[in-house]
Structure 1
């Protein structure tokens, strides 16, 4: 199983309470309206969930200005990825890296050949991806906007060119926008949902678990203009991919507009504050666009382990294809928690520097 962030269960014997900076979840916590919806749905647990998620798909359709037939829901975004790959059944996929590991895991499960295309430093898609698509024999492309784990976005004009070329070459595109909602304040990142109908060969992947802080419920969905493919994806997965509590929580989350606006405003300010302070500590820091900051701690391959005694979990990115042992990702948490992380990082790096001087 690929290593992911958020594995608090491996550290339950720690004496110090853990601050999880390894999972990119909204630090404002579960919205009150979502909590209430979950409590109110408990009595319905005596019934099976709706296998078609009719109320949820209708709510999502109204929220995005689409139709329910264009929407497929799943047990988290990863579930939608695996079901989509099985339904499309590609033979040769291109994945720009570094990238979320579940794309390759899903493709490997069906025996699809995978070619990794290393994004030019600083891990930003540029026009050279077009040449790679032109020259290759691909029928599947996985893109993430903004990218996980680096936070870099795809320029809107370039993204349109990629999608148009993919259409010409009969390449299906999985466009992961799970962090796009939290990047709405960044002008260089744009969702492709408004022009979904122009690209029936594209499935846009979304998630409600990040922004609304409900990863434990697992709730993701995809939107595609090809309704026949959407139905095929739905039939590919398990009979009840979304449980009753998750469906009610998702419907309620879509109506939490005040919480959403508050969250986006908070994240816009706090991610740039964390970015600035990490830079002052001497790290190479990538400009953030969502609710996490990617950085490089040169010469420190065990920074995550050094922070565990302080009660901090940091995402080590060494298992991402294309990244190294000194690459890390930190989630944006509450101001006082971010301040504690920075204090601990300063102390740890002073210890590392002293160790090098005394060698």
Structure 2
């Protein structure tokens, strides 16, 4: 790890003043950033500890405007177990609890969760080329070790995936990211916060230099509360990133007809993947395998494998159908169902 300066400002203005310096990075839980620094993947010249901003309300989880307000400094565990989240946003709670380990969830913050970097082995290995780490050096993952990597939204420059579970649920729930910089405040729809790699895979998000995430808002999702499921297919039960994950939520009338649907995927792209046209096509349809398979086909249009991850093409389709089927049975049925065997088969 290279030497760096450390600062602990008392307020948001103090943080923003320090983040304006080139090479400065905010740190709260540090569960991803410190690992990257130890591996020399990232080498900030100054760490700005933002934990004292909790006294400004950035660590709160609360109701706001009929929806949910998640402080950027609220810990993942506190968010997942918060009574408001468990009762009204069970999909979000399930997704958070499917991620990492209890120890990491106790430290990791909501804002930091959004800014996680890819777990591609080439990104972490500074002895190999990587366009995400050093633009223009190449992407050996395309013809190398790519079992964990993307099948959607890739480019010639990068096939990395975003590792978050929480972000998949936030994308399904139409969240908004609120940030503050020296130029003022702005709200970024979750769909626009993370980027696809394109020609600049080194840029993970649309967050501008010097900006700080202050909170995340989620609109009222009461109509999806009774029928939601988060399915995460991974290699082992705990502390493993998704091969494929699906956040699914349905609004179903008494006759079994779908009034609205939300479906987002993780483990398959550079950002949480959602195809709203596929959701719209489910409206007015009866719940069941035929409708769910048609939705999966729409969501996965254009998907391609790179050799080792070809199995994800089948696995993703089956996981979508399984998540929607589980959501149909009811949220209570879905609790604890987020760990499935990665064999590509539906039960």
Fold conserved (TM > 0.5)?
no
Larger Rg: 1
TM-score by length of 2: 0.25
TM-score by length of 1: 0.24
Higher helix share: 1
